Structure 1
């Protein structure tokens, strides 16, 4: 642990965030944001008093500085580290490249900050050398790719995947990336210039460590077993906290695919190409066992395909206990034991070789696959599953090469988060623009319950932006409900008018790809006739690329589903209208949603009121938030789901929005809406 400052860092947050404070001196024309200072003081209090706190900070609050400044003050004052966790890479890059360097210029003391990446993000020089020496037998690498990687590795200071000036092919990167199961540690000839090791040493000198939710969860799980990835830290800030539950559900479950197993087995030996790790070994018995494992993999996943297509597809892939026959894990075990025996038979000198390390890595991978397949098929009985999990199959990939993923997730990820995060650390600050589903502290209870947070302080801050002046919200009251066969054509007709008024620059948000695709067909001819280009979410085109193309168009129409409801940043004239096709209730027959609903019913509660409605309200807020990203932005949000006006729960969606000019549109006329917000404490 670092030695704390002999005297407390001279940093008064009241003064720092004032109109004549440190920020104002560095930013000419700085306009004080009262919410930013209030948030900073709340987080400072959270750290000093050893409390957890939840802060909802509307767009424009300046929340990054509001948590960085008190975090670094606390870290330097006490000689400890604070981690800052985000869900997206974009926010990590903003923090490490903009907000933290700005803070360093603004405060009167020195501190260091670094970004933590998972081990698999770094190249391993020893494995790269092994791949270069054995490329003829290992794999069919694209010509020159390994040589390019070698040249890059000799000149880069970072050594991480994101800094490579080209995209390495999957087989090549898999062969050269750093891995825990294939690391020699102090015995490695490259230990002094190991990119991963040096990056970790740099973190030892940092007061602030920026990372993503997944890496944070990995570290927390290891700490519960007496190990760790990161240096010791005393407190945490979790930004984009609305995604913490999803990250935990992904992390604490199973995710194994036919592609992953086949990729690993082919890497050991591909009999058609006569390439792979085992190509140099004259052990026909071992290759026979490998061939048996590959055949078992084909048979098992053909069974998965058949079961999915004929039995569980209509139930969104839900898979019950022992619905499948496990012919695979036994063969994987046989292969794993044979590889272990092969390695055990090496001489002492051979055991120090790179081939021995690669075999050890293969054994670890096979062990993981074996365990996951067995767990998925067997599934503990509900009475034996302490934190009940749901199991399902997902289909993806291309039509001719389908990918089947075996998935599981805990129904209550909050239980795991409570045990490994909130019970272990005195101070965790969680923040986002969308955490509440009603006013007052009660509005946070849904989020807090989902992440396992029991005792906490809270702060709800509005936006710095003038929504009353710049945003018009219109609810289309006369449209048929989304379940009606006439909805799409009616909604398309209405939206043509709004798109024309906006001159393009319209984002239309959907809750299903099926509706998106059908709507695009409804709009296609009109858009062509009126010079509007449609940018439609589809496989093969990344969200980033699609949004960039839309942004560069003069009059585009962007159609997106789930991932477009959050994280899409389109400031200025690029976006003038956001249309919400239907209230974003979760698909009720998704296995995980089903599991949660069943659990809530078993507890004697109403799942619509306590789960489905608050989930939809938070997602609705995220969609609404796409419109205004800067102080000067303006535009219209159109709600095409008439249930917002007709159902008893509809007004709850409007009550959570910032104060806007709200209207109901009926018979072609706009009628002002007076939304009286409840203030529950």
Structure 2
């Protein structure tokens, strides 16, 4: 950075298309020299055309000021002279530099022929764990004051501060890492890569600091062994009274009577009996402090008996990370000790150093993958876990991440065995005082837990039964397997055809020929399997779930034989391929052949994963307790292929294994009871009332002063669907959103309605409020992340947005529920579960559909009021909440202090506006 002068530029424009009569309306520039911002410039520019209203709203530029400002032609010579001898920097340089060059061209000046750097790419690489790379979000992440986003001068100054920080970090990188970054950086935008190349030239001899080590091509953070002597001190006894709790914890923990009640209940139940096993069920509403409510009393079980250890399971990996990041450090502070803990996920969440090294050698290189490769290399100097979720990406399903994530197995002969992240996690989990896992992992790896891990907490337990069912549900697609087989066949043909002209392939001609022959055998067996399945169904085109009758022994045997033959041929093919893949020297292959070999390996990985599912299907067909499994076909994600599925009807076998593994089980969540009863929750898990001890805690919030529950007087018929219903929704919602500025979430039952309503609202509201729509504006994670940073945002969501997302305070103030969230009977698992109830003489609606909807509504409402200071309105656009035979039951989803208020539709916007003005 020393000796260079940077012009850090930000432009505000009338639109993003520089060739479509869009022009600059504001120019901001910060000059950085000698590692300091020496000056900054701000110019408002008359674009000589109308400025779209959404741009005025975004930039807050006064149109009257624009009219009296100079034109670009008048300021162009000065700007050209200012920028011509400096390094051009922008946050997305591929927008700003071409745009200003187009403006220079329009007034007869030559384009800038300067070096240019992109701070977005630099930030993605040097700040690999940042949650977002938008300028506003990045400034907040780095604690950079950025008071006026989307104003060019403020944006330019913020970008300049970010540039200084990033350049400093680049020059602090050790020489071996800089060498790798410099080699990869040629694919970056414009001259961004020169930052790494020049840093390497200056620092290539720099030594590794003590906390880093070099293993092969990687610079890794050294593993620091925890001081085991800190783990278990003989601390004071559990504080039995409120006064004692306040005395011990009051310096860190705000007293909450409901939280203390939860703690005392757990402590008393585990201390008052000598039973070998216990099951506790606790409904702990939002605001109680549930995590510490169970962690603190259970921690006394750990210190009293150091051999006893705790496992906590959650529905999602996100909740695992939250507990690790927030609750456990607080526990250690409150207990003045150091409970060792580890987050345990499936292998696929972790980086495989061996696979990543291979990808760096032969993987497909484009700007997107190069940036990811560079950010991971930098991240390796920071991460202690190797958990790819730390990168906070929104999509880990890309070919790149599927090529570098960890496989379930690891050989001791692996070059990276000693530093392998997945092995270290498993090793730590075997001895940690507290293990944080998720329901899917627990169900699939139950036997891996030690007998000392005797206490199990099921957090957000309302998901547990469904997660157990999903863990037993697997599938394969013969049509997709056939598609992969055809792609592999094409690659084999190519390799055989090129064996004469590429010397590196020549020694493997015979093995490749054998692979192709074995592939043909597999394809033939797969066709027989497909024919056998179609014969069972009696139809060749699947449009909805079809349940298979496999009660006849002969039918099962035919399917077993077809599966066994397919498994055998696929296994033989993969064995042959492995010999070639292992021996082939890819560095001697041409670039095109390397790409094909890499694709071949990826396809073989998919086929190997499918082999496991084929084996599982065969094993389930051979299971002597076959009657406990259901088999059905449904449509694959591509909408064309079908899948062969199987799932468990009951959890009885898994329930018995859980009881043997964990004598103490604690189920807790905010939505376990329907009204005052836990019957539905217990029935889901096949638990009898006399097997458990229950506690239902009251909410700490005075809802009558904090929230309102509204219903419009005129609603659309709940039996109607389609475009007319979605238009009605938009007509009701639009005036409410126009009358308010509060952050709003709208919950739907279908993604189709989300899209229809979004496209109806966006043209009218898009210039006033930022709209996010599931399935339209990005992935779920990206939408949730952007919504948290938004002001006056509107989120339209379905499915996962009903629960598991946390928007406290002003992040969410208005909740609109379009319909009671009854499950679709078309869902295969719902259909199958309810068909079993009908066969058992139960009413699926009252035994399953209604209680599920009540609990989901309860979860949805829980998104609104998260803290003591929150205020909000929930508007339900479904008349059945007040006018149905089950209205009284459905209203149990909401706090009893919250009375239902019905208002004329035209009055709703003003009423909602007034509520927020008064509060």
Fold match by TM threshold 0.5: yes
CA drift at 1:329: 6.2
Q: Which deviates more from structure 2 when the two are superposed, residues 171-180 or residues 512-521? A: 171-180
- Quote the Cα distance in structure 2 between the aligned partners of 1:515 and 1:449: 33
Secondary structure of 2:240 counterpart? helix
CA drift at 1:65: 0.5
- Quote the Cα distance in structure 2 between the aligned partners of 1:289 and 1:375: 24
- Matching of residues 117-196 of structure 1 within 5 Å: 117-128=345-356, 140=364, 156-163=383-390, 170-171=398-399, 173-174=401-402, 176-181=404-409, 183-185=410-412, 187-188=413-414, 190-196=416-422
- 1:593 equivalent among 806, 822, 830: 830
The aligned residue for residue 249 of structure 2 is 23
1:100 is aligned to 2:335: no
Secondary structure of 2:342 counterpart? strand
- Residues 375 and 203 (structure 1), Cα distance of their counterparts in 2 relative to 1, 3 Å cut: closer
CA drift at 1:366: 5.7
- Quote the Cα distance in structure 1 between the aligned partners of 2:890 and 2:679: 17
1:370 is aligned to 2:583: no
User: Is the 1:329–1:369 contact (alpha carbons within 8 Å) kept by the matching residues of 2?
Assistant: no
- Quote the Cα distance in structure 2 between the aligned partners of 1:547 and 1:308: 44
- Quote the Cα distance in structure 1 between the aligned partners of 2:397 and 2:680: 43
Secondary structure of 2:236 counterpart? coil
The aligned residue for residue 737 of structure 2 is 499
- Quote the Cα distance in structure 2 between the aligned partners of 1:300 and 1:540: 40
CA displacement 1:514-537 (0-9 Å, x = unmatched): 233333344445535x83443211
The aligned residue for residue 466 of structure 1 is 702
User: Is the 1:301–1:404 contact (alpha carbons within 8 Å) kept by the matching residues of 2?
Assistant: no
CA drift at 1:387: 1.4
- 1:602 equivalent among 813, 825, 839: 839
User: Is the 2:280–2:667 contact (alpha carbons within 8 Å) kept by the matching residues of 1?
Assistant: yes
The aligned residue for residue 36 of structure 1 is 259
CA drift at 1:36: 0.5
The aligned residue for residue 14 of structure 1 is 240
- 2:572 equivalent among 317, 337, 351: 337
The aligned residue for residue 492 of structure 2 is 271
User: Is the 1:4–1:77 contact (alpha carbons within 8 Å) kept by the matching residues of 2?
Assistant: no
The aligned residue for residue 457 of structure 1 is 693
The aligned residue for residue 341 of structure 2 is 113
Secondary structure of 1:651 counterpart? helix
Secondary structure of 1:25 counterpart? coil
CA drift at 1:385: 2.9
- Residues 197 and 501 (structure 1), Cα distance of their counterparts in 2 relative to 1, 3 Å cut: same
CA drift at 1:651: 1.7
The aligned residue for residue 544 of structure 1 is 781
The aligned residue for residue 440 of structure 2 is 214
- Quote the Cα distance in structure 2 between the aligned partners of 1:435 and 1:662: 22
The aligned residue for residue 881 of structure 2 is 644
The aligned residue for residue 235 of structure 1 is 455
- Quote the Cα distance in structure 2 between the aligned partners of 1:360 and 1:471: 55
Higher RCO (Cα < 8 Å, 6 or more apart): 1
1:389 is aligned to 2:630: yes
The aligned residue for residue 468 of structure 2 is 248
CA drift at 1:308: 12
The aligned residue for residue 66 of structure 1 is 293
Q: Which deviates more from structure 2 when the two are superposed, residues 158-167 or residues 604-613? A: 158-167
- Quote the Cα distance in structure 2 between the aligned partners of 1:475 and 1:125: 56
CA drift at 1:84: 0.9
The aligned residue for residue 653 of structure 1 is 890
CA drift at 1:272: 5.9
User: Is the 1:84–1:210 contact (alpha carbons within 8 Å) kept by the matching residues of 2?
Assistant: yes
User: Is the 2:808–2:865 contact (alpha carbons within 8 Å) kept by the matching residues of 1?
Assistant: yes
Q: Which runs of 5+ in 2 are unaligned?
A: 1-227, 497-503, 582-600, 909-919
CA drift at 1:289: 1.4
User: Is the 2:634–2:645 contact (alpha carbons within 8 Å) kept by the matching residues of 1?
Assistant: yes
- Quote the Cα distance in structure 2 between the aligned partners of 1:505 and 1:629: 14
- Residues 550 and 191 (structure 1), Cα distance of their counterparts in 2 relative to 1, 3 Å cut: closer
- Quote the Cα distance in structure 2 between the aligned partners of 1:468 and 1:396: 45
- Quote the Cα distance in structure 1 between the aligned partners of 2:488 and 2:297: 49
CA drift at 1:107: 1.0
- 1:77 equivalent among 293, 296, 304: 304
1:312 is aligned to 2:548: no
- Residues 296 and 270 (structure 1), Cα distance of their counterparts in 2 relative to 1, 3 Å cut: farther
CA displacement 1:464-493 (0-9 Å, x = unmatched): 222110100012343232213664444443
Relative to the length of structure 1, the TM-score reads: 0.80
- Residues 427 and 489 (structure 1), Cα distance of their counterparts in 2 relative to 1, 3 Å cut: same
- Quote the Cα distance in structure 2 between the aligned partners of 1:127 and 1:600: 48
User: Is the 1:261–1:369 contact (alpha carbons within 8 Å) kept by the matching residues of 2?
Assistant: no
- Quote the Cα distance in structure 2 between the aligned partners of 1:545 and 1:437: 33
- Quote the Cα distance in structure 1 between the aligned partners of 2:741 and 2:354: 57
- Residues 461 and 156 (structure 1), Cα distance of their counterparts in 2 relative to 1, 3 Å cut: closer
The aligned residue for residue 154 of structure 2 is none
1:290 is aligned to 2:519: yes
- Quote the Cα distance in structure 1 between the aligned partners of 2:333 and 2:232: 22
The aligned residue for residue 483 of structure 1 is 719
The aligned residue for residue 617 of structure 1 is 854
- Residues 240 and 334 (structure 1), Cα distance of their counterparts in 2 relative to 1, 3 Å cut: same
Q: Which runs of 5+ in 1 are unaligned?
A: 347-356, 671-681
Relative to the length of structure 2, the TM-score reads: 0.61
Secondary structure of 1:270 counterpart? helix
Q: Which deviates more from structure 2 when the two are superposed, residues 568-577 or residues 361-370? A: 361-370
CA drift at 1:653: 1.8
CA drift at 1:597: 1.6
Secondary structure of 1:558 counterpart? strand
The aligned residue for residue 865 of structure 2 is 628
CA drift at 1:247: 1.5
Secondary structure of 1:436 counterpart? coil
CA-atom RMSD, angstroms? Answer: 4.4
- Quote the Cα distance in structure 1 between the aligned partners of 2:398 and 2:759: 36
- Residues 298 and 229 (structure 1), Cα distance of their counterparts in 2 relative to 1, 3 Å cut: farther
- Residues 316 and 514 (structure 1), Cα distance of their counterparts in 2 relative to 1, 3 Å cut: farther
Q: Which deviates more from structure 2 when the two are superposed, residues 248-257 or residues 60-69? A: 248-257
- Quote the Cα distance in structure 1 between the aligned partners of 2:669 and 2:443: 18
- Residues 130 and 445 (structure 1), Cα distance of their counterparts in 2 relative to 1, 3 Å cut: same
- Quote the Cα distance in structure 2 between the aligned partners of 1:661 and 1:176: 51
User: Is the 1:37–1:66 contact (alpha carbons within 8 Å) kept by the matching residues of 2?
Assistant: yes
The aligned residue for residue 407 of structure 1 is 645
Secondary structure of 1:407 counterpart? strand
The aligned residue for residue 89 of structure 2 is none
In the comparison of the two structures, how many residue pairs are matched? 632
Secondary structure of 1:430 counterpart? strand
CA drift at 1:8: 6.0
CA displacement 1:369-402 (0-9 Å, x = unmatched): 43256579xx689x963313242324325x8xx7
Max radius of gyration: which structure? 2
The aligned residue for residue 90 of structure 1 is 318
- Quote the Cα distance in structure 2 between the aligned partners of 1:265 and 1:150: 35
- Residues 596 and 75 (structure 1), Cα distance of their counterparts in 2 relative to 1, 3 Å cut: same
- Quote the Cα distance in structure 2 between the aligned partners of 1:242 and 1:163: 27
